[in-house]
Amino acid sequence: MTDDQLYNLTRRKVLAGLGAVGLASAGAGLGTSAYFSDRESFENNMLRAGELDLLLDWQQTYNGPASGPMYAPAGYPYISAYPDSDGDGIQDDVPQSFVIWAKRNGYDLNTAQGKADAVAAFKNAYFADIGEGKDWEAPLISLDDVKPGDSGEVTLSMHFFDNPAYLQLIGRKTGESENGLTEPESEVDSTPGAGELGEAVDVLIWNDDGDNVYEPRNGQDVDVAVLFDTSCSMEYADSSKSCSTSDNTLVPEKFMQAQAGAVALFEELLAEPDVSALGLPADMVPDANVQVGLVEYGNNTGVVEPLGAPLDDLRDAVLNMSPSNGTPLPTALEAAIDMLAGSDADEKCVVVIGDGQPHATDGNDSPGSGSPVSPLSGVTYDSWGATYSVQLTEYLENTLGANILTVHYEVEPDVDLAQGIDTAYAQSTAPNYDIGTDNDIDTIELFEIMASPASDDIADLSRLSFAADRDRLVCVLHRIAHLCAGEVPLFAGTLDDALAALDDGVLLVGNPRVAADPEIDAPVRSRLEWSCTYYLGFEWSVDAAVGNEIQSDAIEFELGVEAEQTRHNDTPFAESPQ
């Protein structure tokens, strides 16, 4: 490594498995026997070791000079990204859900081979193994001519497959040098034998939501309307079939885990993160004033708890619900509009959690006399309310300024809308959204079209829509809480202090807004589900007031993520299992 490679970012990959085990039998003989006998034998028994494979993707930016060779072809501020198929420095769109991607691409996840093939293809398409001879060999952050006032950021997206895991952020300083003294530096540098860059660089590390920006929602008012599906399909395996045991499989735990997910969302939204130990400036503290309201649609439809309801009331309300009847989503969206109409909050969110398409069993499938919107000329409204649902989410987004975040819960790909939708109208609300060559919109595509774009650009291909099954619903809802209520910092201080802290590892959790309870949380709180996406933001900056003292100094360091299995492991990242 040369001195001009100012920063060096690497990642340690841990492959954790359970070694192969062989079983043998031993027999004893007593000579021949005339007793009747029989033998049954189970053949081809097998134990296969599991896998835990940690992979990364990322986006890196640098706020340095307006132009220069350090930037990718897209120019300032883009340095590098992965995956980046066209090499412009801007990250390709990465699918939100491995499960949906695999099924849409024809993989059978019900077989071991099908799942293995899907995982391998997904990894190869989107994620990097780091190291010599692998997908990415170069240092990630490698900049020279850094000056006071410069800053940069990299958001790491972490994925692991096949098994749940603990994750920890690790790092260490590998070198720092003065590289001699320039004349201006010699006039202010009292330690000519030691570099000062590690103390001059400020670092912020946080649980990011995937957009490369620390957003604590400092001092902001945040109003969140949660729409929760209690239709009968929420306790059946296949939401596209009838709610009958003769046609479908009853799965009561599906609904119970949805309730648990909603409770986790409420807890994360309404938590008051304590980051006092970090010594953050007042304007960087995540102290949003969050209000949550709850709307049910299905068994009953309407406002169950108003904005500002206490956590206990929200928790009790959702836990006392039971599934039955249809899916009158338009009526629930109208209730959300009423809930947010008088809100002057800085941030408004509507979170829709459901397992299937709208089914307006109450007849509310198009704008009526009491609707907040008027019928659209030339638009055909289907009898189940899909088209009307899109119109209502457009009103929430464009008129009330709300972000719409949708969660399609255990919805199979390519489940058609029973009564169709006005495709041309729906497509017009998401101009660049790809509905495929069949020119038809299925249930998951409806959820994605209803959701807001991930950026302020209506043409953004990435939407705030999330796929979730029972095992991954909680981690999806935690991410939604961070998008709405604000992100939480893990570290703030100098680069030297950051690397000292990371030398021992910093254990990551999925719900950083909620204060830990050591008696009940450890280590369960840190158990992260596979196939979820976890983001870490790492931002560095050089104070403009530092001046000449850092001229020609260099620092080299490692920064990485480590994964370890959770099964039979109550002391993650200990020196040896206990």
pLDDT tens profile 339-371 = 999 999 999 999 999 998 999 999 999 999 999
Tell me the domains of the chain and their CATH numbers. 53-212+487-564 (no CATH), 221-485 (3.40.50.410)
Of 510, 506, 514, residue with least CA distance to 526:
510
Q: Which residue has the tokens 């691409």?
A: 105
Q: What is the CA radius of gyration of the chain?
A: 27
E-strand stretches of 339-464: 347-354, 403-409
Of 497, 503, 501, 496, residue with least CA distance to 550:
496
Q: What is the pLDDT of residues 214-234, one digit of tens each?
A: 999 999 999 999 999 999 999
pLDDT band, very low/low/confident/very high, at 183 (cuts 50, 70, 90): very low
Confidence (pLDDT) at 461: 54
The answer on pLDDT for 408 being more than 90 is: yes
- Mean pLDDT taken over the chain: 83
Pairwise pLDDT comparison (415 vs 340), residue with the higher score = 340
Phi, psi of 532 (to 5 degrees): -85, 165
As a whole-number percent, the residues of the chain with pLDDT over 90 amount to: 52
pLDDT band, very low/low/confident/very high, at 109 (cuts 50, 70, 90): confident
Confidence (pLDDT) at 463: 80
Confidence (pLDDT) at 552: 64
Confidence (pLDDT) at 15: 28
**Amino acid found at 328:** P
Q: For Cα atoms 185, 190, 196, give the angle at the middle one, nearest 5 degrees.
A: 70
Q: For Cα atoms 231, 237, 243, give the angle at the middle one, nearest 5 degrees.
A: 45
Highest mean pLDDT among 21-35, 36-50, 512-526: 512-526
Confidence (pLDDT) at 509: 87
- Give the rounded distance of the alpha carbon of 212 from its chain centre: 13
E-strand stretches of 182-231: 201-208, 221-230
β-strand partners of 493: 203
pLDDT band, very low/low/confident/very high, at 36 (cuts 50, 70, 90): low
As a whole-number percent, the residues of the chain with pLDDT over 70 amount to: 82
User: Which token pair is 126?
Assistant: 């989107």
The answer on pLDDT for 436 being more than 70 is: no
Q: Give the containing element (helix H, strand E) for 463.
A: none
User: Which token pair is 55?
Assistant: 């992979």
Of 560, 43, 484, 415, residue with least CA distance to 271:
484
Residues 121, 102: Cα–Cα separation, whole Å: 9
